[in-house]
A and B are shown apart, each in its own frame.
Chain A
Amino acid sequence: MDILQLIANGIPAGVMYSLVALCIVLIHNGTNVVHFGYGDQITFAAYLVVIAQTLFGAPLWLAIASSVVISALFGLFIYLAILAPIRKTPLLVQVIATLAIGTALREGMRAFMGPDPWPFPALVAPRIFNLSGVFITSANVAAVAIAVIITVALFVFFKVSKYGQAIIAACENAKGASIVGISVTKVFASIWIVASVLAAVSAILMAPVVTLSPDMGLIAIKGFCAAVLGGFTSLPGAIVGGILLGLIETTAGYYISTAAKDVVAYGVLIAVVIFMPQGLFGKAQLKKV
């Protein structure tokens, strides 16, 4: 019975990593930038909900809506004010800039909202379902369901919609896309907005489960691992990578040792990087020499 409980808990734990990985991959695919501050952007979005509730007395729905809108604007701000001006600098400069954004957000929240963890309102009424001895919480069900919806929506958007196709075109060949009339600046800006809206959605799902504190964004480390497992260029890969990581962690911790949980998880990651550098869903990179 414990194996079923491990799966029942491992999947939602992994979905938390998947949500982070999904947007890291989205930003990377779209703009070539690896956003090391993304975890802190999720934390920031969660704090926006708390701020709206505690400082302005907003009801939960309004607090969530405010968080989504401000996150979107903040994503646009990151692109227009920080990353667009340095778009032609070496990639390392852009990566450092994302690290700086993350640190500024984390320490800013620590200073403004205090270093202590904050209670975060549950999106769904807390309930525990007992399925023949396997316990499943309503928060975990909601997280998995919404993650599936987001993935399907993104998949359809990029495969079916014209705008999604335009984004893919701009990502693959920015110069070519601009020649045929696609505004690369608009495409990049829209990717940042979408990723930032998803940061708010992730925040609302994550914070009640993993506890909101200024350091909640550290979960992004696992999100990066999930992205690497999935191939770093594949959106479905990010989802599968996250869930796999969650399952590996829980089962290794249970069957081997809780102290070895991370050793096994990161060991698998290193093995994937060595033997399958393209990840589970990525495409092998071929270079003519």
Chain B
Amino acid sequence: MRTSTVAKAAAFVAFGLWGANPVFADSTGVTDSTIKIGFVGSMTGPAAIWGSGNMAGATLAFEELNAAGGVNGRKIEFITVDDETSAPKGIAGFNRLVQSDKVFAVFGPSSSAVGVPMKATMASSGVPVLIPSFSSPLMTEPPAPNIFRVGAINDRMQGRGIANYLVNTDKRTKIAILRQSDEYGATGAGAVGDRLKELKMAPVANEVFNAADTDFTSQVLRVRSANPDAIVVYGYPAPSAIITRQLREVGIKAEIIGSSATSNQNYPELVGKIGAGTKFVTTLEHQPESDFPAIKKFREAFQKRFPDLARQGRPALGDTLGYAGALTMIEAIRQAGKDLTREGYVKALESMDGYETGISMPTHLSATNREGNTKMYIAVIKDDLTREVLPGAIETK
């Protein structure tokens, strides 16, 4: 506890002093005609579910920008590195982008398992990093001067939001939690439990599962014994889909709500008809398959640019967040002006208060806040396996 407090205090002092640090007032990676942006993310391995999308979305955004003449007269040179869902490779890739390729700023990484171990390296480099998707709160707690997240919502906030929704909106009183055994599940589900405690409640069951498991009978039956009226499933899409099916197969009728990892477009089909009525967290007011004009325009451009990915039913959540994150990055570069420096870029990010990409949640950053989004929506899988976002964003702070 003491060590943690001291570490946090040191981080805040460093954060406070950072503004005067001349090291950041540089234009590395910037020429009269180009800006080098690096991407490090998981294009292979299990986290490619997010990384490949982040890269594809950002590629589209930067190509569109370059085709339109660039930003402040400069075109983006996008250099990508695959971390293979491995933290050591993520660190090596980041160092390569910074030291060899000498990029101006970095976009990514794309998963908590890779990103969290990279944080110290990223923070000490001073190179501005914009995270477009993954949700570990450790990336912004304590905040590092050069690391920002936009679009996604962190697991601590998400957990609070889920508890708030179930108790205050849905009036549930007997809530069970099924969580993945890793840091992702522990943080998110832990936040649900913490918020329930604040609301003078306790989960009626709290069960753990491994992401690679294929049978969840013991967890499901323990939950059934607790007779809940709502069940939070905090895990990745594949195990969450099996759990949702198994919960229904043993006759449990309680409301099921999944974390934002289950907000991918093909999740309803993974669960099947038995999963109709299941809810999930989403940070997109309009899902990638919707006909909302900005989304439709993005979807058509994406599918034209990446026909091979369109065949896979994309764009998906990772693609959308990648595109939106890149638009936010471009806007900050634009606001930083013709004399582009890392310091100016960071200041431009900090000045964003409500910037909208049209397809993701508005970005609210400041000199002391590195978490661009604090709101989420609840959506539901309908009987025909389409998805409907329920009205009203939920504030999670």
**Could you list which residues of chain A lie within 8 angstroms of chain B, going by C-beta atoms?**
2, 5-6, 9-10, 13, 16, 54-55, 107, 110-111, 113-119, 126, 128, 130, 135, 137, 209-211, 213-215, 218-219, 221-222, 246, 249-254, 258-259, 261-262
What's the minimum C-beta distance from B53 to chain A, rounded to whole angstroms? 8
Cβ contacts under 8 Å, A116 to chain B: 49, 237, 264, 266, 312-314, 316
CB contact list, B103-158 vs A, under 8 A:
none
If A114-B309, A115-B52, A135-B249 touch, does A249 touch B215 (CB 8 Å cutoff)?
Answer: yes
Contacts of A250 in B (CB 8 A): 215, 217-218
CA distance A107 to B52 in the complex (A): 13
**Residues in B neighbouring A252, C-beta threshold 8 A:** 218
Known: A115-B48, A119-B266. A135 touches B215 (CB 8 A): no
The answer to whether A111 and B181 touch across the interface, beta carbons within 8 angstroms, is no
Beta-carbon contacts under 8 Å, B17-53 to A? 44-46, 48-49, 51-52
- The answer, among A118, A215, A259, for a CB contact under 8 Å with B46, is A215
- The A interface is mostly helix, strand or loop, or mixed, namely helix
Query: Which residues of B lie under 8 Å from residue A54 when comparing CB positions?
Result: 311
Would you call B217 and A259 a contact (CB within 8 A)? Answer: no
Looking at the assembled complex, report how far the CB atom of B207 sits from the nearest CB atom of chain A, in whole angstroms: 5
B85: shortest Cβ distance to chain A, in Å?
10
- Among B181, B238, B269, B309, max chain A CB count under 10 A is at B238
Kindly state whether residue B212 has any CB partner on chain A within 8 Å. Answer: yes
In the bound assembly, the distance between CA atoms of A110 and B249 in angstroms comes to 30
A254 touches B222 (CB 8 A): yes
* Cβ < 8 Å to A, chain B residues 279-336: 309, 311-314, 316
Whole-angstrom distance from the CB of A3 to the nearest CB of chain B? 10
Query: By the criterion CB–CB under 8 Å, are A117 and B217 in contact?
Result: no
Residues of A within 8 A of B314 (CB): 114, 116
Bound: A221/B44 CA distance, A: 21
A211 touches B242 (CB 8 A): yes
**How far does the Cβ of B312 sit from chain A's closest Cβ, in whole Å?**
4
* Size class of the contact patch on chain B: 35 or more
For residue B214, CB closer than 8 A to chain A, the reply is: yes
CB nearest neighbor in A for B308:
A112
**Closest Cβ of chain B: how far from A210's Cβ, in Å?**
4
A110 touching B251, Cβ below 8 Å: no
Q: A111-B44, A210-B242 are in contact. Are A2 and B316 (CB under 8 A)?
A: no
Specify which chain B residues have a CB less than 8 angstroms from the CB of A119 in the assembled complex. 266, 269-270, 272
- The answer to whether the Cβ of B225 comes within 8 Å of any Cβ in the partner chain is yes
For B212, what are the chain A residues with a Cβ–Cβ distance below 8 Å? Answer: 215, 218-219, 221
Check if B250 sits within 8 Å of A107, measured CB to CB.
no
A23–B47 Cα distance when bound, in Å, is 29
Closest chain B residue, CB of each to CB of A218: B212
Mask of B201-228 contacts with A, CB within 8 angstroms, 1/0: 0000001111010110111011011000
Chain A residues lying within 8 Å of B264, measured Cβ to Cβ, are 116
A258 to B210, CA, bound (A): 10
What would be 18 A-B contacts, judged by CB atoms less than 8 Å apart?
A2-B225, A9-B215, A110-B44, A110-B48, A114-B309, A114-B314, A116-B266, A116-B314, A116-B316, A126-B272, A126-B273, A128-B249, A210-B214, A211-B238, A218-B212, A258-B207, A258-B219, A258-B222
